[in-house]
């Protein structure tokens, strides 16, 4: 996708969380002069008069952590407008809103955007990692490829500490690093549940406005996902709160103190963890292959629920996700009912087993590994 965008746009923006592989990808697979704006010697080159510096550099030009220098973007716009050759600039960033805001002001129509995630299961599988290991360890390359639980824990603890003490500190938050880490742990305990910012604020001793600000920062750094409820004029009372997920399962498990496959399988958080992991796999791969897809969950006040709803125009696909080795008729009751009512056009019960079979009209039961591999080639 990156090469396709580089053939169409003068600039390509590669977004994603820290340590997901953006820099490795840029240095190994993209040709051009590379500068990291978090490296003092590289940043110094851009300080002062940016325009002469940019004009004297080679092409293509790769700029890492570009969001740390907002004044870069207006200058890029003027240089791009003089000569709109494709593939002139690659911009890497780990903070979504800051970059998007500057792009909307300066580079609209001049930049193609791609989000790079940590390893998804099909990528990790190529590294000889099985599904239980990827689910436990998550997708950050340096975490999932560790050889021992101690190394995995040490890496993730360093990741959290760096994020709390460096990235969060840049926003001028008044709370201590200890409080911010406690907030992250509390968010992990809400994983897969409805998000009530007022309740969370009372637990933290802060206002719900502060909680929303913290969540905005976590979401901006690609660490959490807020999944919106589906609404339609159905004559039903629907839940209106978002659901909250920690996007990387390894980070989730570290925050919850789950350090082994056995501990994960025995944990009361197992079901919520599995649900979030499968949802993240499906959404991330849907975004790679389809444009314009929308993502929701569906829940009525009576308790009927669909874990994930992917809408592609008239095609509405519902997913019920179960952390069990087999599927039962009760698992597709809601899917069948909501297909009959028109909420979805087809559906899947995704479970831990291997067999695939028709469960009801328009509904299939399918193993998680099979549907994830199908999603990897855009075949759902």
In this structure, what token pair is assigned to residue 30? 């993209």
Residues of the chain with CATH 3.40.50.300: 2-115
Give all strands (DSSP E) within the chain, no chain letters: 11-15, 33-36, 61-64, 89-93, 111-115, 224-227, 243-246, 294-299, 305-312, 315-321, 346-351, 357-360, 363-367
The answer to whether the predicted template modeling score (pTM) of the entire model surpasses 0.85 is: yes
Q: Are 70 and 100 in contact (CB under 8 A)?
A: no
Q: Are 245 and 191 in contact (CB under 8 A)?
A: yes
Please say if the pLDDT value at position 55 is more than 90. Answer: no
pLDDT band for position 167 (cuts 50, 70, 90): confident
Question: How much is the pLDDT for 354?
Answer: 94
Q: Which of 173-187, 209-223, 230-244 has the lowest mean pLDDT?
A: 230-244
Average pLDDT score over residue span 201-207: 93
Mean pLDDT, all residues of the chain: 93
Please say if the pLDDT value at position 233 is more than 70. Answer: no
> 279-376 adopts what CATH topology?
Trna Endonuclease; Chain: A, domain 1 (3.40.1350)
Question: How much is the pLDDT for 106?
Answer: 83
CATH, domain range 121-269: 1.10.10
pLDDT band for position 236 (cuts 50, 70, 90): low
Distance CA 130, CA 172 (A): 41
Question: How much is the pLDDT for 239?
Answer: 77
- Residues of the chain with pLDDT > 70: what percent? 98
Please say if the pLDDT value at position 131 is more than 60. Answer: yes
Average pLDDT score over residue span 370-374: 98
Q: Are 332 and 349 in contact (CB under 8 A)?
A: yes
Question: How much is the pLDDT for 352?
Answer: 98
The residue ranking higher by pLDDT, 50 or 158, is 158
Of the options 3.40.140.10, 3.40.50.620, 3.40.50.300, 3.40.190.150, the CATH number for the domain spanning 2-115: 3.40.50.300
pLDDT band for position 237 (cuts 50, 70, 90): low
Question: How much is the pLDDT for 361?
Answer: 97
Question: How much is the pLDDT for 206?
Answer: 93
Residues of the chain with CATH 1.10.10: 121-269
* Residue range 293-350, pLDDT digits in tens: 999 999 988 889 999 999 999 999 999 999 999 999 999 999 999 999 999 999 999 9
Long-range pairs for 95-101: beta carbons < 8 A, 24 or more residues apart: 95/67, 95/220, 95/221, 96/15, 96/219, 96/220, 96/221, 96/222, 97/216, 97/220, 98/67, 98/70, 98/220, 99/13, 99/15, 99/66, 99/67
Please say if the pLDDT value at position 262 is more than 80. Answer: yes
Average pLDDT score over residue span 200-220: 94
Residues of the chain with CATH 3.40.1350: 279-376
Question: For tokens 């340096």, what's the residue?
Answer: 142
Question: How much is the pLDDT for 103?
Answer: 78
Please say if the pLDDT value at position 102 is more than 80. Answer: no
Sign of the alpha-carbon torsion through 352, 357, 361, 362: positive
Question: How much is the pLDDT for 283?
Answer: 98
Question: How much is the pLDDT for 280?
Answer: 98
Question: How much is the pLDDT for 198?
Answer: 95
In this structure, what token pair is assigned to residue 310? 């992917």
Number of residues in the chain: 380
């Amino acid at each position: 996708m990156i090469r396709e965008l580089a053939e169409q746009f003068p600039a390509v923006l590669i977004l994603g969380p820290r340590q997901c592989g953006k820099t490795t990808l840029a240095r190994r697979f993209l040709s051009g002069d590379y500068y990291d704006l978090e490296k003092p010697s590289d940043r110094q080159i851009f300080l002062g008069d940016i325009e002469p510096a940019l004009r004297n550099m080679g092409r293509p030009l790769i700029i890492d952590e570009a969001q740390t220098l907002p004044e870069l973007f207006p200058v890029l716009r003027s240089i791009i407008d003089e000569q709109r050759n494709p593939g002139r600039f690659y911009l890497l960033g780990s903070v979504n809103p800051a970059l998007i805001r500057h792009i909307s002001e300066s580079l609209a129509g001049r930049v193609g955007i791609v989000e790079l995630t940590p390893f998804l299961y099909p990528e990790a599988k190529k590294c000889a990692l099985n599904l239980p290991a990827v689910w436990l360890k998550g997708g950050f390359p340096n975490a999932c490829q560790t050889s021992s639980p101690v190394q995995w824990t040490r890496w993730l603890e360093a990741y959290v500490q760096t994020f709390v003490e460096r990235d969060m500190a840049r926003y001028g938050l008044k709370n201590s690093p200890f409080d911010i880490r406690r907030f992250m742990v509390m968010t992990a305990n809400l994983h897969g549940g409805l998000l009530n910012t007022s309740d969370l604020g009372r637990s933290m001793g802060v206002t719900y406005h502060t909680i929303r600000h913290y969540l905005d920062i976590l979401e901006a750094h690609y660490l959490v996902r807020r999944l919106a409820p589906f609404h339609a004029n159905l004559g039903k009372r629907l839940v209106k709160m978002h659901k909250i997920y920690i996007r990387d399962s390894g980070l989730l498990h570290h925050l919850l103190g789950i350090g082994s496959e056995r501990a994960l399988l025995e944990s009361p958080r197992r079901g919520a963890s599995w649900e979030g992991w499968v949802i993240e796999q499906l959404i991330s791969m849907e975004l790679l292959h389809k444009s314009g897809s929308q993502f929701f969950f569906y829940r009525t006040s009576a308790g009927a629920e669909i874990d994930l709803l992917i809408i592609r125009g008239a095609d509405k696909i519902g997913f019920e996700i179960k952390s069990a080795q087999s599927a039962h008729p009760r698992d597709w009751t809601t899917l069948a009912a909501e297909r009959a009512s028109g909420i979805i056009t087809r559906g899947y019960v995704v479970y831990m087993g291997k067999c695939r079979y028709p469960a009801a009209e328009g509904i299939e039961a399918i193993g998680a590994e099979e549907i994830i591999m199908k999603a990897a080639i855009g075949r759902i």
